[in-house]
Amino acid sequence: MPEAVTTPRARLARIAGAWQRKLPAIALVVATAGAVAAVLLWQRAEGIAQEAARRLQAGDVRAAQLETQWRQAQDQVRDLQARSGVLESKLTEALGRQSQLESLYRTMAQDSLDAVLADVENALAIASQQLVVSGNIQGALVALGDADARLARIRQPQAVGLRRLLQRDIERLKALPAVDLVGLAIRLDTVVGSIDQLPLLAAAAPASASVGSSSAPRAGGFSLESLASTGRRGLDALLAELSQLFRVNRVDAPDALLLAPEQQYFVRQNLRLVLLSARLALLARLEPVFRADLERAIGWLGSHFDASQRPVANAVAALRQLQGARIAPDLPSLGDSLAAVRAARSALENNP
């Protein structure tokens, strides 16, 4: 049988023989690869172990730090809790004090408001008295201004309406016409000062007749002309003497001519007293009394003084002018403001 023809068993044997020859080399390669892999794995495992050890050591250090920080945090928490307790106690104490202060402030504010309202009521009463009794507008304005300043300082809601009423009263008083009482008093004092120079009817005397020439005879010799001249002068002198004894005047009050010298003094003093009474009424703004006293003084001048003389006529004219002056304008009432202040005080007392 030829050699090329082989059986399957022979082929298998040849293949097995070939692998047997190659098996040591393969085993060597595999062993070498395994050793290399083992070395690599060992190196890697050692690196991993070193890294793990390093990380573990770092973890221990971190854990120690965290434990320290945790302990510090616990200490801080305990400190904060202690402080929080102290703050809570202080807050509670502060809230209690704040409540006490608020209560005290409300009490003080109420007492202060009541005191201010009482002062404002007194100021309004004074202003009303100044207007009613003496008509003193400037004094009333001062009192109202003081009341308004007191209300402005407290800054309370109750003060708004009261200040509005006070401002209205102040504007009404400022709108009143000004009266020059000082000027009127000076004019009246001028008349009072001239009383002693006013001629009375009882003291009036006619003017002496003028003599054309001196009673002494002219120098020169005796003549009929000088005799006639001397006779005329003697007749004129006789007529002048007779005219001093007799005078014809119209007198409405005959008793005024019969006053003795000592009674003339009292006539002047009575006129002075009447004018001084008028001056007091002027300063007190009592217009009816002022006009009545001036009318009495004018009648006294007409009945006891010589009205034909210029000083008496000037005095009468001055008193007539004073009589026509307006010294007491229509003054407003402060009743609304007083009622409002009293109502506010009553409401404050009823609502403590």
DSSP of 34-52 = HHHHHHHHHHHHHHHHHHH
Residues 140 and 128 in one domain: yes
**Contact by Cβ (8 Å): 192, 200:** no
Residues 237 and 305 in one domain: no
Is 292 a residue whose pLDDT tops 50?
A: yes
Side chain identity at residue 53, one-letter code: A
Residues 199 and 261 in one domain: yes
Residues 164 and 40 in one domain: yes
- Of 256 and 81, which is predicted with more confidence? 81
Angle at which helices 335-350 and 8-129 cross, to 10°: 130
- Work out how many domains the chain is built from and give that number: 3
| Residue the block writes with tokens 């001036």 | 294
Q: Looking at the domain assignment, is residue 291 inside a domain?
A: yes
CA distances from 245 to 97, 170, 239 (A): 106, 68, 10
Query: In this structure, which long-range contacts are made by residues 295-300, counting pairs with CB atoms below 8 Å and at least 24 apart in sequence?
Result: 295/323, 297/271, 298/323, 300/267, 300/270, 300/271, 300/274
Residues 39 and 139 in one domain: yes
Q: Looking at the domain assignment, is residue 7 inside a domain?
A: no
Please, which pLDDT band fits residue 350 given cuts at 50, 70 and 90? Answer: confident
Q: What are the tens digits of pLDDT across the range 138-192?
A: 888 888 888 888 888 877 777 788 888 888 988 888 887 777 778 888 999 998 9
Give the residue among 8, 334, 40 at the shortest CA–CA distance from 171: 334
Q: Which of 147-156, 244-253, 312-321 has the highest mean pLDDT?
A: 312-321
Query: For 57-66, 309-318, 321-330, which range has the lowest pLDDT when averaged over its residues?
Result: 321-330
CA distances from 14 to 2, 4, 5 (A): 18, 14, 14
Task: Report the pLDDT averaged over residues 66-93.
Answer: 84
pLDDT of residue 219: 44
pLDDT of residue 273: 93
Q: Provide, rounded to the nearest whole percent, the portion of the chain with pLDDT above 90.
A: 5
Of the chain, the end-to-end C-alpha distance in Å amounts to 146
pLDDT of residue 351: 67
Residues 315 and 189 in one domain: yes
Helix runs in 252-286, H state only = 261-283
Residues 227 and 279 in one domain: no
**Contact by Cβ (8 Å): 70, 63:** no
Residues 261 and 116 in one domain: no
Please, which pLDDT band fits residue 17 given cuts at 50, 70 and 90? Answer: confident
Q: Looking at the domain assignment, is residue 320 inside a domain?
A: yes
CB proximity list for 184: less than 8 A, separation 6 or greater: 282, 322, 325, 327
Is 121 a residue whose pLDDT tops 80?
A: yes
Please, which pLDDT band fits residue 245 given cuts at 50, 70 and 90? Answer: low
Is 27 a residue whose pLDDT tops 80?
A: no
- In angstroms, rounded to a whole number, what is the distance separating the alpha carbons of residues 349 and 136? 33
Task: Report the pLDDT averaged over residues 25-45.
Answer: 81
Residues 191 and 43 in one domain: no
Residues 238 and 312 in one domain: no
Residues 264 and 121 in one domain: no
Q: pTM for this structure? A: 0.45
Q: Looking at the domain assignment, is residue 96 inside a domain?
A: yes
Q: Provide, rounded to the nearest whole percent, the portion of the chain with pLDDT above 70.
A: 78
pLDDT of residue 1: 42
Token pair, residue 93, equals 């104490």
- Of 242 and 283, which is predicted with more confidence? 283
Identify the sign of the CA torsion 76, 81, 85, 90. Answer: positive
Q: Looking at the domain assignment, is residue 3 inside a domain?
A: no
Write out the DSSP string of 153-168.
HH--THHHHHHHHHHH
Q: Looking at the domain assignment, is residue 338 inside a domain?
A: no
Token pair, residue 145, equals 């201004």
Task: Report the pLDDT averaged over residues 320-344.
Answer: 82
Is 68 a residue whose pLDDT tops 60?
A: yes
198 lies in which domain range?
178-204+255-328
Q: Looking at the domain assignment, is residue 341 inside a domain?
A: no
Q: Which of 224, 246, 268 is the last residue of a domain?
A: 246
Is 254 a residue whose pLDDT tops 60?
A: no
pLDDT of residue 4: 47
Residues 100 and 28 in one domain: yes
Helix (H, G, I), strand (E, B) or coil at 286: coil
Q: Looking at the domain assignment, is residue 37 inside a domain?
A: yes
Give the residue among 256, 252, 280, 253 at the shortest CA–CA distance from 266: 256
φ/ψ of residue 285, rounded to 5: 60, 35
**Contact by Cβ (8 Å): 176, 329:** yes
Helix (H, G, I), strand (E, B) or coil at 348: helix
